Amino acid sequence: MEEGKRQRQVAGVLQEELNDIFRRFGLNMMNGGMVSISSVKVTPDLLEARIYISLFQVKDMEAALKKIDDRAWEIKKELGNRVKNQLRRIPVLHFYLDDTLEHVFKMEDLFKNINEQDEAIRKSQDNEENTGN
């Protein structure tokens, strides 16, 4: 089902405000890595928000997510203060790990390995042709 205009607007506001809140609370740098809000998806009734957290070079991802979950009430309170004039009700916040970056790195490694194997096959074929002449 396609996301409605209001859902996208609310998600955009939430993402912008949450990124700022994370910076203010010091949650954007954790365990030697960067933390950011990669996307926000809001349910059609605007009562729940799924916040996807992107972790870059964070050593313990589960601990980082737990730290964010532990401060969820504080984050929601600050969010409520910021958007109280734009929303009637502050959505329930659910935090999820966004592993898109991890998949990108895995895909890059796979492509790199495939290219290296192709190159090795080409070199061995070239060597066979040169020694056969």
pLDDT tens readout for residues 28-68: 787 778 888 889 999 999 999 999 988 888 788 888 888 88
Percent of the chain with pLDDT over 90: 33
| pLDDT top residue among 132 and 74 | 74
Check residue 132 and give its pLDDT.
61
Check residue 51 and give its pLDDT.
93
Nearest to 71 by CA among 14, 26, 36: 26
Do 108 and 74 fall within a single domain? no
Q: Which residue has the tokens 């992107």?
A: 54
What average pLDDT does this structure show over 7-12?
92
Write down the mean pLDDT value for the chain: 86
**Torsion 75-80-83-89 (CA) sign:** positive
What average pLDDT does this structure show over 90-113?
83
What average pLDDT does this structure show over 95-116?
82
Do 41 and 79 fall within a single domain? yes
CB count within 10 Å of CB 20 equals 15
Domain that holds residue 117: 100-133
Number of domains forming the structure of the chain: 2
Check residue 56 and give its pLDDT.
80
Nearest to 82 by CA among 10, 7, 3, 6: 10
Do 22 and 82 fall within a single domain? yes
